[in-house]
Amino acid sequence: MKYGLFAINYGTCADPEHAVRVAQYAESAGFESVWTAEHLVLPDPQPEGFSMPPTLPFLDTIVALTLVARETRTLNVASGIIELPLHHPVTLAKQLASVDQVSKGRLIVGVGAGYLDAEFAAVGVPLSERGLRMDEHLDAMRALWTMPHPQYSGRFVNLDGVNAFPRPVSAGGPPIVIGGESAPARRRAIAKANGWYCFQTTVDSAREAMASISSDLERQQRPVQLGNLEVTMTPIGPFDRRVREQYESFNVDRLVFLPDLTAPPERRHAPVPLDDILRTVDELAATMP
């Protein structure tokens, strides 16, 4: 069971010095990875039931991953998740390949479709196009990372007669993780990604999610070159060795923890004092196998 820590670029860790301190502390405690989140903009005023105030600070994911990569040695740096339809895939492929080079191959690329109407409107991308853009952007980035002479033709992306170096460290590019619990997200993870990420799960919802993805894997053919599908989850609520063992029994590969394990839903994205984050890391390290 691998352990990761979420929120390395927002809230408290939007302060670059705090981000580095937390990442180095997690690395020394035996954590495998740290994960960013992404919102380019937030709705203002804050909608009812939405847990993020418009003043919540987010460092840009690429900037944060580069910073943390340069200040650590063994820790994987992961985006969890980049809202892929909001980015141009040629630009993003270049940025991510560069982060992978800076980190010496420690990058995990987590992507998702996004969901905020206001955010899509601000970037000028129709929310209704997000699924098709996800598929095209993934294929276009992989083409730029892996093909000797990249080519791709789609509705939104066309590549021909261009190339981009440096390539990622690994020949196949960094591992890609698809975030989202919907049926389309699960199907996309099986067809196009190395991993699948479920956010904010309880033991019961984790059990149900694993049953869903297992059923999908029985019905849907997975490309052989992608290997086994790695499953990542973010558990919520109190956590101890017993809870970890339950996730292990479901064959979950990685747990990525919020910096405050006991926060109620409306406070799960609120800034957490730095000392409390470090204390959380210590408490979680004590539950490692």
For the segment 7-20, what is each residue's pLDDT rounded down to a tens digit?
999 999 999 999 99
Q: In sequence order, which residues have a C-beta less than 8 Å from that of residue 226 and are 6 or more positions away?
A: 192, 193, 194
Taking only the tens place, the pLDDT of each residue in 199-236 is 999 999 999 999 999 999 999 999 999 999 999 999 99
Mean pLDDT to the nearest integer, 242-267: 92
Q: What pTM, to 2 d.p., does this model score?
A: 0.97
* Confidence at 30, pLDDT banded by 50, 70, 90: very high
- Dist CA 185 CA 194 (whole Å): 13
Residue 108 predicted with pLDDT over 90: yes
Q: Domain containing 111: what range?
A: 2-285
Question: What residues contact 102, with CB distance under 8 A and at least 6 apart?
Answer: 66, 69, 70
Residue with the larger pLDDT of the pair 155 and 270: 155
Inter-helix orientation angle 130-146/89-102, to 10°:
50
Q: Residue 267's pLDDT is what?
A: 79
Predicted pLDDT of residue 264: 81
Total number of domains constituting the chain: 1
Q: State yes or no: pLDDT of 271 exceeds 90.
A: no
pLDDT at 105 over 90: yes
User: Is residue 166 reached through a cis peptide bond, with omega within 30 degrees of 0 on the bond before it?
Assistant: yes
Lowest mean pLDDT among 24-28, 56-60, 155-159, 263-267: 263-267
What is the reported pLDDT for 261?
83
Query: Can you tell me the distance from the alpha carbon of 100 to that of 66, in angstroms, rounded to the nearest whole number?
Result: 9
Confidence of residue 268 (pLDDT cuts 50, 70, 90): confident
Provide φ and ψ at 232, rounded to 5°: -120, 140
Looking at residue 135, which CATH number applies to its domain?
3.20.20.30
> What pLDDT digit, counting tens, does each position of 69-80 carry?
999 999 999 999
Residue 25 — very low, low, confident or very high, per pLDDT cuts 50/70/90?
Answer: very high
Confidence of residue 123 (pLDDT cuts 50, 70, 90): very high
Whether the pLDDT of residue 265 is over 90: the answer is: no
What does the mean pLDDT of the chain come to? 97
